[in-house]
Amino acid sequence: MSVVFEKPRFSVDQMTSATDAAKRFAEVRKRAKKEPQYITDHNVVDSVILSYEDYEALYAELAAYREQQLLSIAAQRISQGDADPHRTRVSLHDAMTEEEYADFLACNADSIPDEDLFE
């Protein structure tokens, strides 16, 4: 599956040279609360200033896509494994070193309350 990347569209009002941004940073920050501001260096967009609210939204969306991709890869691998007649199961004990397995057995599953696990 390929994804078509479309570059962001913005107006000339959102562009500020790095020199002007340094001189008028408070103004650029204020404008960034309304819409992203693009900082240019030699007429090439170099940086973007955006509100923290917009940043959080982008971060959350990226995290959700990464999780979705991880789950998709895991589901695909499970499906491929189920279809492989030569697949062999490996016990947890065999997959761990003796020290790791001893640590696993010594772990008390009730030492952390469920409320702390599932916030």
Domains of the chain: 8-68 (3.40.1620.10)
> What pLDDT, in 10s, does the model give residues 73-119?
999 988 887 777 787 888 899 999 999 999 999 988 888 888 887 76
Whole-angstrom Cα Rg for the chain: 25
- Residue 5, φ and ψ in degrees, nearest 5: -95, 120
> What pLDDT, in 10s, does the model give residues 56-74?
999 999 999 999 999 999 9
